């Protein structure tokens, strides 16, 4: 119970620091208080004066943060001026699309990554397959997620398919080393010598031995997917939270950007906390597993 309380306190502190950091960066970024609506010649002096007064009010960062957290305590996430809608409504409308894409990316990435890693572990002497799959994974890993999204967009692929391409090589690289080690265990060789079928060996021996490492990798891959979703959705034009975050950043919409930053921080921190949970920490993918 004490450990759970410490983890919750750490998560809350990290999320709050993330939100405040986002607010500070937006507040002091160049052109924060430039409003293109002032260029509209149809606006009268009263409208221009109201716009300038509103911008002047937003200059007080500390006062705005206090007001935001006061509203947050009552469930009020604020109002997005760039979208002319409450932030809660925008997140509720866009979240299902992002969750769907994350689910497609994780399921597809695991099917491809694990499906390519199992033959490498089973046929450890088949160097040609190992070299080909590792080389392809390394090539994709060398490309930024935004560039992969651009290539997939020109090919007509959806955002979920882009996340599969981004995640699959990372999952493969981690899972490959884990499964090679599991298949090299002595009890696996004994089971094979006794004539046990390979599917049974994989299910009862290999995957059971590698379960802690693979579960830690599952939590880590969720964090990877969340980070990759923002540039992927922004480039592919998907109506999800990633594109909404990009629009909020370009419009310097502070209430919306703070909420989205804290939401991403919460999801990422939760995923990493799960990967560090007791029983998974020993199997957490480390630097040595990526070689």
Q: In this structure, are residues 137 and 169 in contact, taking their beta carbons and an 8 Å threshold? A: yes
pTM over 0.85: no
Secondary structure string (H, E, C) spanning 140-205: HHCCCHHHHHHHHHHCCCCHHHHHHHHHHHHHHHHHHHHHHHHHCCHHHHHHHHCCCCHHHHHHHH
pLDDT at position 56, please? 60
Each residue of 194-244: pLDDT tens digit? 888 888 888 888 988 888 889 888 888 888 898 888 888 888 888 889 888
> CA nearest 92: which of 254, 219, 239?
239
pLDDT at position 64, please? 78
pLDDT at position 149, please? 86
Which CATH superfamily does the domain covering 87-290 fall into?
MetI-like (1.10.3720.10)
Instruction: Give, for all 291 residues of the chain, the pLDDT tens digit.
Output: 777 787 788 888 888 888 888 888 777 776 565 555 555 666 666 665 666 666 666 667 777 788 888 888 888 888 887 788 899 999 999 999 999 999 999 999 999 999 999 998 888 777 887 888 888 888 888 888 888 888 888 888 888 889 999 999 999 999 998 999 888 888 888 888 888 888 888 888 898 888 888 988 888 888 889 888 888 888 888 888 988 888 888 777 888 888 988 888 888 888 777 766 655 544 444 433 433
Q: With 0-12 CB in 10 A as exposed, 13-18 as middle and 19+ as buried, what is 87?
A: buried
For 166, list phi and psi in degrees, rounded to 5: -70, -40
pLDDT at position 33, please? 57
Q: Where are the domains of the chain?
A: 87-290
pLDDT at position 109, please? 94
């Amino acid at each position: 119970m004490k450990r759970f309380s410490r983890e919750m306190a750490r998560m809350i502190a990290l999320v709050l620091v993330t939100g405040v950091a986002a607010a500070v960066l937006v507040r002091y970024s160049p052109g924060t208080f430039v409003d293109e609506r002032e260029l509209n010649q149809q606006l009268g002096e009263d409208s221009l004066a109201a716009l300038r007064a509103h911008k002047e009010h937003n200059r007080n960062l500390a006062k705005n943060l206090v007001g935001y957290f006061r509203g947050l305590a009552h469930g009020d996430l604020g109002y997005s001026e760039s979208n002319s809608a409450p932030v809660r409504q925008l997140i509720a409308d866009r979240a299902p699309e992002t969750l769907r894409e994350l689910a497609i990316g994780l399921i597809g990435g695991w099917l491809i990554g694990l499906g390519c890693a199992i033959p490498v572990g089973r046929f450890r002497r088949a160097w040609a397959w190992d070299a080909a799959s590792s080389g392809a994974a390394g090539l994709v890993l060398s490309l930024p997620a935004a560039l992969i999204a651009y290539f997939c967009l020109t090919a007509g692929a959806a955002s979920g398919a882009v996340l599969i391409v981004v995640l699959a090589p990372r999952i493969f690289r981690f899972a490959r080393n884990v499964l090679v080690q599991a298949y090299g265990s002595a009890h696996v060789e004994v089971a094979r010598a006794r004539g046990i079928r390979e599917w049974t060996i994989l299910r009862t021996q290999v995957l059971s031995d590698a379960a802690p490492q693979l579960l830690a990798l599952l939590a880590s891959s969720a964090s990877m997917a969340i980070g990759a979703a923002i540039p992927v959705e922004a480039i592919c034009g998907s109506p999800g939270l990633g594109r909404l975050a990009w629009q909020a950043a370009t419009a310097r919409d502070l209430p919306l950007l703070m909420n989205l930053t804290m939401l991403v921080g919460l999801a990422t921190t939760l995923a990493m906390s799960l990967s560090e949970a007791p029983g998974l920490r020993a199997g957490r993918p480390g630097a040595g597993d990526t070689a």
